[in-house]
Amino acid sequence: MHLRFRTPGGTVILRNCRIVIAIIVVSSLAACATTVKVAPSATFQWTSPTKRLILVEPDVELYEMRAAGELEPRADWTETATAFIAQDVARGLAAHSVELVQPGVLTDHHEIQLSRLHGAVGDAVLLHLYAFPLPNKGDALDWTLGPGTNDMRAHYGADYALFVTVRDSYTTTGRAIMMLGAAMLGIGLQGGQQIAFASLVDLRTGNIVWFNRIMNNSGDLRTAVPAQKTVDNLLESFPL
């Protein structure tokens, strides 16, 4: 049995570096952890009357948070959540007449590296825009994946690509008991968190022209309806 038990604040030792970064951001924004925020973005216009977009396979990882706070990857949950997210993103964009090019499961080395790069750049954007501003960055969305995106543009024949990164953790009964016991002593322990961000990338330049993130203390990506809600929030204010 697993309980979805989440409270902001506190710290735990985690194995996954990206989760560590996300928890730092969440902790600094505890008062607005369930809000959706759209970063300031560059002016965006589709390059042709046909809205053609590459939907890159979502980078999704789901974890089980054990009693001591360690995160155990769950491949079965991850597979289910990835399918839900990909389907829901495709459905949402197709409803607005966006022509989608879906490469499916990433097998090309260069594309896999771009997806990983997006995750690293997205982490930096999160820290800068929502937690610890970098001294040389302003409020503008001034981030890029570099000119290597041109290869993807040539391969699929589209000027833009949507990258989605999701990390989600679920509190076990043991962890929930630990949290309750700590709370009685006035100590806050971190429960599961859902962190996701999406970027629209101009493949001609590699520049990110739209970025959005969500951070939730609730929701379950392992089931259809909550997963759909997460995607709807993530695509809020997408430039259609």
User: What total number of domains does the chain contain?
Assistant: 1
pLDDT of residue 43: 60
Domain that residue 49 falls in: 17-234
Q: Is residue 7 part of a domain?
A: no
Q: Is residue 228 part of a domain?
A: yes
- Return d(Cα 228, Cα 204) in angstroms, integer: 31
Please state which of the ranges 35-39, 182-186, 215-219 shows the lowest mean pLDDT: 35-39
pLDDT (mean) for 148-164: 92
pTM score: 0.78
Q: Is residue 1 part of a domain?
A: no
pLDDT of residue 173: 72
pLDDT (mean) for 90-109: 85
Q: Is residue 239 part of a domain?
A: no
**What's the pLDDT band for 231 if we cut at 50, 70, 90?**
very high
**pLDDT tens for each residue of 31-87:** 344 344 444 555 677 878 888 999 999 999 999 887 777 788 999 999 999 999 999
pLDDT of residue 116: 92
pLDDT (mean) for 12-27: 45
